[in-house]
A and B are shown apart, each in its own frame.
Chain A
């Protein structure tokens, strides 16, 4: 199960990189980056997964005394919570810059932007 989730995550990262490297349209590149972002999150969550265990929330069925043997690793989940939020911020920034670039050249084709080309 952990292997399946991790393989899906790696596959999503590769799909995202492929999209970002081969697409000419800036919006498509941004979408590709968010796909890769989801893949990274999936891989990190999959690392914390342990077979037959439950979510790291203490209640009547997961008492404190046996918690260490009953719950999955909470640290990757806390990391991914951070990563998702930062991902949203980065995506919004990319969209804002894409808008600015469109305003300048009236095109979203990355080939039109040659200022930093060598």
Chain B
């Protein structure tokens, strides 16, 4: 009872803070200085049509490298924490069949979902999308395959090879930017091309494709680790 009361008081306090924030909030009428800089300079400096992508991959590219590292750490720890339960996976018996619709549907849809994921991360500099979104879409295709056949075994070796290879290439491209262009992860060692074309924005499509592969592999390895330890 007293715990519930304390929780309620805490929530009311936070709610009051939020209410003050909300009532005092005035939307900006103009872009602030940082946003204005990005709006004015992205097209000529980076050559990417999608300004959010330019910020994520180039202006704040180092943060994105850190973010991918955090995700890698999370996937690695999930694999480590759950690794003891692995041997039990083989002994599971008598799963109810998943049904014709899901089996046939997953065979038809999984390649298309993967293709959509690839499309999303290759077009990250032109459309709303990019490596993280495309990687998540690819992992959702893997999830569909796992739903259709929970005993399916994905090769962890293949997933981790793909993951570390794309991570390594990502850093290598970043270093190329350091030596051939203005700095680490600078995309302009490749021609920036015409705004809005697929082969534009320098190295951004390359970097975002690598991020997409890496994120897709990381999410897939998390999914595989979580399903393989199910129902001990």
Residues of B within 8 A of A (CB): 4, 7, 10-11, 14-15, 18-19, 21-22, 25, 27-29, 31-32, 34-36, 38-40, 42-44, 49-52, 55-56, 60, 63-64, 67, 70-71, 73-75, 77-78, 81-82, 85, 126-128, 130, 132, 136, 195-196, 215, 219, 222, 225-226, 229, 232
Residue pairs across A and B with Cβ atoms less than 8 A apart, 20 shown, are A3-B25, A10-B18, A50-B27, A50-B28, A55-B128, A56-B39, A56-B50, A58-B195, A59-B196, A67-B51, A68-B31, A68-B39, A71-B51, A75-B35, A81-B130, A88-B71, A89-B75, A92-B75, A93-B74, A95-B78
Query: Are B34's CB and A75's CB within 8 A?
Result: yes
* Min C-beta distance of B139 to chain A, whole Å: 9
* Min C-beta distance of A65 to chain B, whole Å: 9
Alpha-carbon separation in the docked complex, A22 to B229 (Å): 29
Query: Are B35's CB and A7's CB within 8 A?
Result: no
Residues of A within 8 A of B (CB): 2-3, 6-7, 10, 13-14, 17-18, 21-22, 49-51, 55-59, 64, 67-68, 71, 73-75, 77-78, 81-82, 84-86, 88-90, 92-93, 95-97, 99-100, 103
**A18 contact set on B, CB distance < 8 A:** 7, 11
- Known contacts A55-B128, A56-B51, A75-B38; is A96 also within 8 Å of B225 by CB? yes
* Min C-beta distance of B126 to chain A, whole Å: 8
**B18 contact set on A, CB distance < 8 A:** 10, 13-14
Specify which of B38, B40, B126 lies most central, judged by the most chain A CB atoms within 10 Å of its CB: B38
* Min C-beta distance of A7 to chain B, whole Å: 6
**B28 contact set on A, CB distance < 8 A:** 50, 73
